[in-house]
Amino acid sequence: MQMLAIFFDKVRRNPHFSLKYKYMSLLKASFFSGLLLFCATFGANAQNLAALPPFYDAANAWVDSIMQSLSPEERIGQLFQVAAYSNRGPEHEREIKRLVAEYGIGGVIFFQGGPDRQARQVNSYQAMAQVPLLVSLDGEWGLGMRLDSTISFPYQMSLGAIQDDKLIYKMGLEIARQFKRIGLHVNFAPVVDVNNNAANPVINYRSFGEDKELVARKGMAYMHGLQDGNILTSAKHFPGHGDTDVDSHYDLPQINHDINRLRDIELYPFEQLMINGLGGVMVAHLNIPALDARPKQPSTLSNPIVTDLLQKELGFQGIVFTDALNMQGVAKYYEIGRVEVEALKAGNDALVFPQDVPKAIAAITAALKSGELQQMDIDRKCRKLLLAKYWLGLAEAHSVERQSLYQDLNTAEAHLLNRELVAASLTLIRNRNDILPFKNLESKRFLALSISKNGQRTDFQNMLGRYTKMDYANLKPDASSSQTTALRQKLADFDVLVVGLHQLQSRPRNKIIYNQAVQDLLTELSASGKAVIVALRNPYTLDKIKGIEKAEGILVAYQGNKVSEELSAQMLFGAIGSSGKLPVTINKNFPFGFGIETKGGLRLQYGAPEEVQWDGGWLEMQLDSIVGLGLEAEAFPGGVLLVAKNNKVVYQKAYGHHTYDKQIATKTDDIFDFASVTKITGPLPALMQLHGVGKFDLEAPMSAYWPDFEGSNKADLTWRNVLAHNARLKAWIPYWTSTVPWWNKWLLKKPLKFKKNTFAMDSSAMFPIKVSSQLYLHKDYRAKMYEAIKKSPLNEAPGYLYSGLSFYLYPDMITQMTGREYETYCKDAVYRKLGAYTITWNAWQHFPMERIVPTEQDTFFRQELLHGYVHDEGAAMMGGLSGNAGLFGTANDLAKIMQMYTNMGAYGGEQVIPEASMREFTAYQFREAGNRRGLGFDKPMLENRESGYVAPSASESSFGHSGYTGIFTWADPEEDLVIVFMSNRVHPTRLNRKVYAMDIYQKLHEICYAADRRKVPTMNK
């Protein structure tokens, strides 16, 4: 009866049996039926519910033949897992080969090194082995735990925060793939210790968390992924290393809980994994009096623990691995050789990291002769290991293919999975007044402070800077009081302080290595009412910062690698959401299971092509080829290409240099002259806003908003016709030529002589408008430009003709309709709302010149290299502040505008432009007349798509514009696709039209559609 009660209690405690045995209550009501089932399944000894390991096969011809070929001594050798390193010299490698050849060791466990070096050694060792070697590795977070040039997935505490266990299963499957690719067979993972001791020095961040159910669930997902990928799992550290405060690498930890507590907490995850087919267990070096009362008795060497508890009571039939036998938890108390004998007597199957194989084998042989050990036990263990080898495919010899090994271990899909895991782990634990994600960017001044080891700009700060204007400060953890005082004075000028607490050790320990001055500063910032703290480190450390719970926002990111830093920054701005829950208790303010969920998708996310199911390698190859041909042909000296799909920037790359002398390499955050792209990014968003609130009527005549046109040939032209380039307006007026005397034009005399009251070489009250570095326009000349537009004749033929004339008028119109200066209105009502702070007129006033890409070497008007000054002559004569040209900015900030347009006016959780206006302005206007234009926007060709500069595959809902200086941008709402290509093709001369002759824009654009058509399956599918 008691045994049956235990059986049903285990069923009740196992969530995975709830469906399989959903009628168990009926079975329990029938004692007889329950007894039959119990006895038939588990036998009279009431062994636990442990399922058979995946490699179990009672009859196996290959195993039988190998067993028959091995001598008793060679069977002993099969039990050894010897430490191997691929970063050590030839002497170490020769020693491993000697152990393989002379002692027939059963396997090796690799530690530090590199993938290619390890693959070479695996092939070499396997070629020598009489019986294929079992090759193992401690890969709790993947190959990156031991090998350089490989991927490190998140630590298990990060995984403990993830709510979707399918992601952890996929990680296990991917780690299995990588293990198999490099010739590995066993992963000593997962750690299923319940970390209920925050001071644990050795498990800690390696545990999924403090809750037994969570640890069991996450561990099971990881285990299934590994074993479904045909890698043997070894859960550790049995019977549970979580509640310790001593590192067993250096001494023997003691656990003083009673048997009931151990069964309820520590053993629970191991039981659950065993129930579900666990293949291996690693036994820890622990002293547990409740299980074995002998003083200083390590659990690894304890028969009551390994044999009686693990194998008999719990019924585990998989492989029992010792923890490393060189660790002081055992080595400190036993002689070399004696440790291995005691380990086998305790019931272990595999001896991991023996200190001296010859001594150990000699000691085991002596123990067999004395009767202390039995050959039948050695044979049983050997057979079990051979069964595992057969399941792992070792019956068939094969070597590790070293060609393309790095690429195969570092696939884009694996990196994408890593990003997904990190993003899903982010845990928001404080969000006062919904400060996150950040809103109203136009009204906030941001400063990003990082406390990091080297005190330099961090990846976290760089990603924050992609979203809005960001000032930066950096502190080292040992900053002086004078340094923190100076920083305090600077912080007072900002509305939001984003504070990154960076990981200072090689692992996210639970210690905080900040001096008192820095800790005092953090306490003060937390109480300032404007701090958002991001802990890129062990969550336990937050409890060590006094008053941190008073911060406006706190995000836990668990570890401080580049991926964690960048995704944390993206979460703060709402590009991705937060869904993680604390896997451990920090303190009473932040208990286990706590986490605040937020939604993503508010702003552009920065990721990889694979996130939208594009083949990133193919995409980069194609785009690089097209841009490379342009560079080679000198179609432009350099450029920046950005592609966004599904609200994600999936490609952003800088090419070439600012000029052909190759002195300054182009960077992705360089500032370019937008040229005519200004039309759709300067006046147009303002006009759409005004249209949305009824202040701008498309059917109104031009004279309604420009009264000076009353009585002119333009008075009755509607703004719809004007914006659609359907109003018979002249294409352009070369205003500057009217300022040059006729004789100077004909003689081409240089420097140019200008008419009186037009230009001067120095500024004054009469000549205040700066046109270039040494040329100033008369204060009244703008009126003459307006008059020239008014008096210009209309084209006789009706229909489409591209004209920039009306765009000179919009700045004044917008100022009159809004009551605010044009530039101020555009920046406040549009750009700053988007966080697009680099978009501005007159770049020379706002940015260092080395960040601005120069355009033309002007040889006929301003007679200088145009650098920071608008290229377009007419816009220059408007003081650089015009509607037809004049804007400068980065590709990243232009993409924000285009993504907002793609979203039909929405961005950052705000409807920046009314949707109805967006749809009206981006639609074909006079299609029946053969006009392809929207209102201000360009649209795809109506016929002969291949003849245009836009991808033939672009949908009819798409729109965009190009700029004379070498700019192209296009948005496709139907495909949620944005492209931005920036170059300075007019350098050194506008006569260079190769970018058009080579169809660079169209080819780049079409590749994006081709990438979408050839979507590749992702790990999410």
Q: Looking at residues 77-83, what average pLDDT do you find?
A: 98
pLDDT band for position 750 (cuts 50, 70, 90): low
**37-41, 747-751, 837-841: least confident range:** 37-41
Pairing mode, if any, of strands 553-556 and 605-606? unpaired
User: Which residues does 644 contact at the CB level (< 8 Å), separation at least 6?
Assistant: 604, 650, 895, 898, 899, 977, 978, 979
pLDDT band at residue 479 using 50, 70 and 90 as cut-offs:
very high
According to the model, what pLDDT value does residue 349 have?
98
Q: How confident is the model at residue 103 (pLDDT cuts 50, 70, 90)?
A: very high
Q: How confident is the model at residue 333 (pLDDT cuts 50, 70, 90)?
A: confident
In contact, 1006 and 951? CB cutoff 8 Å: yes
Helix, strand, coil shares of the chain as percentages rounded to 5? 40, 15, 45
CA distance 894 to 670: 12
> 734, 873 in Cβ contact below 8 A?
yes
Per-residue pLDDT at 743: 62
| Burial of 731: CB neighbours in 10 Å, binned 0-12, 13-18, 19+ | exposed
The structure tokens 């926007």 sit at 937
pLDDT at res. 1: 45
Q: How far, in Å, CA of 834 to CA of 688, rounded?
A: 16
Q: What's the rounded mean pLDDT across residues 341-365?
A: 97
Burial of 263 (0-12, 13-18, 19+ CB in 10 A): middle
Judge whether residue 443 has pLDDT over 60: yes
Question: Could you tell me which of 969, 948, 962, 846 has the C-alpha nearest to residue 896?
Answer: 969
Which of 42-56, 523-537, 938-952 is least confident?
42-56
Q: Find the range with the poorest average confidence among 122-131, 322-331, 434-443, 474-483.
A: 322-331
Assessment of whether the complete model's pTM goes beyond 0.75? yes
Query: What pLDDT, on the 0 to 100 scale, is given for residue 1018?
Result: 57
pLDDT of residue 32: 38
DSSP state of 794: P
Whether the predicted pLDDT of 14 surpasses 50: no
3-state class (DSSP) for residue 321: strand
| Range 850-878 average pLDDT | 96
Q: Give residue 345's identity as a one-letter amino acid code.
A: K
Q: Are strands 280-283 and 319-322 parallel, antiparallel or unpaired?
A: parallel
Phi, psi of 26 (to 5 degrees): -70, -40
Return the percentage of the chain with pLDDT > 90, whole number. Answer: 87
Range name among 48-52, 55-59, 569-573, 585-589 with the lowest pLDDT average: 48-52
Evaluate if residue 27 carries a pLDDT over 90: no
Split at pLDDT 50, 70, 90, the class of 193 is very high
pLDDT at res. 890: 98
Cis omega (within 30 of 0) for bond into 239: yes
Helix 516-526 and helix 481-491: axis angle, to 10°?
Answer: 20
pLDDT band with cut points at 50, 70 and 90 for residue 740: confident
Decide if pLDDT at 113 tops 90. yes
- Cβ atoms of residues 158 and 558 within 8 Å: yes
Report residue 749's pLDDT band, with 50, 70 and 90 as the boundaries.
low
Burial environment of residue 252 by CB neighbours within 10 A (0 to 12, 13 to 18, 19 or more) = buried
Contact 733, 872 (CB under 8 A): no
Extract the tokens encoding 124: 């070499």
Tell me 830's DSSP state: I
What's residue 511's pLDDT?
84
**Helical (H) or strand (E) element with 3:** helix 2-13
Question: For all residues of the chain together, what is the average pLDDT?
Answer: 93
Q: Per-residue pLDDT tens for 534-547?
A: 999 999 999 999 99
- From CA 364, how far away is CA 336, in angstroms rounded? 11
The first and second tokens of residue 193, run together, are 């210790």
Count, in order, helices (H) and strands (E) of the chain: 39, 28
Q: Are 122 and 183 in contact (CB under 8 A)?
A: yes
Residue 120 confidence (pLDDT) above 60? yes
Strand partners, 911: 906
Share of the chain above pLDDT 70, in %: 94
**Sorting pLDDT into bands at 50, 70 and 90, what band is 588?**
very high
pLDDT digits (tens, 9 = 90+) for 257-269: 999 999 999 999 9
627 confidence band (pLDDT: 50, 70, 90): very high
Angle 519-525-528 from CA coordinates, rounded to 5°:
150
pLDDT tens by residue, 963-1005? 999 999 999 999 999 999 999 999 999 999 999 999 999 999 9
In what helix (H) or strand (E) does residue 501 lie, and over which residues does it extend? strand 496-502
Query: What is the rounded CA–CA span in Å between residue 127 and residue 132?
Result: 8
Residues 42, 315 contacting (CB under 8 angstroms): yes
- Is the model's pLDDT at 17 over the cut of 80? no
Q: Which residues of 120-133 are buried (b: 16+ CB within 10 A; e: fewer)?
A: bbbeebbeebebbb
- pLDDT tens digits, one per residue of 589-613: 999 999 999 999 999 999 999 999 9
Flag whether pLDDT at 82 surpasses 50: yes
CA distance 738 to 741: 8
In 800-886, DSSP assigns E strands to 840-841
Strand partners, 501: 451, 535
Place of tokens 């352009």: 732
Are the C-beta atoms of residues 219 and 231 closer than 8 Å to each other?
A: no
Cα-based distances in Å from 40 to 4, 8, 33, 354, 878: 12, 15, 11, 41, 93
Q: Assess whether pLDDT exceeds 90 at residue 818.
A: yes
Is the per-residue pLDDT at 345 higher than 50? yes
The widest CA-to-CA distance across the chain, in whole angstroms, is: 120
Q: Is the pLDDT of residue 692 over 90?
A: yes
**Do 192 and 222 meet the contact criterion of CB atoms below 8 Å apart?**
no
Let me know the angle formed at the C-alpha of 690 by 685 and 695, rounded to the nearest 5 degrees: 160
pLDDT band at 335 (very low <50, low <70, confident <90, very high): confident
Q: Which of 87, 72, 164, 71 is nearest to 121 (CA)?
A: 87
Count of C-beta atoms within a 10 Å radius of residue 586: 24
Asked if the model's pLDDT at residue 858 lies above 60, the reply is: yes
Q: Decide: 397 and 132 in contact? Cβ < 8 Å.
A: yes
Q: For 446-460, what is each residue's pLDDT tens digit? A: 999 999 988 789 999
Could you give the CA distance from residue 497 to residue 471 in angstroms, rounded to a whole number? 10
On whether the CB atoms of residues 824 and 841 are closer than 8 A, the answer is no
Partner residues linked to 655 by β-bridges? 639
Tell me the residue type at 201: P
Closest CA to 324 of 246, 256, 232, 248: 248
Buried b (16+ CB within 10 A) or exposed e, 316-339: bbbbbbbbbbbbebbbebbebbbb
State the average pLDDT over residues 177-200.
Answer: 96
Token pair listed for 224: 């299934």
Q: Lowest-pLDDT range, 322-331, 337-346, 949-958?
A: 322-331
Q: What angle do CA 194, 199, 201 make, to 5 degrees?
A: 85
Per-residue pLDDT of 217-253, as tens digits, reads 999 999 999 999 999 999 999 999 998 888 878 888 8
- Distance of alpha carbon 841 from alpha carbon 821, whole angstroms: 13
pLDDT at 808 over 80: yes
Tokens of 347: 């019931």
Two structure tokens written together for 986: 């007019």
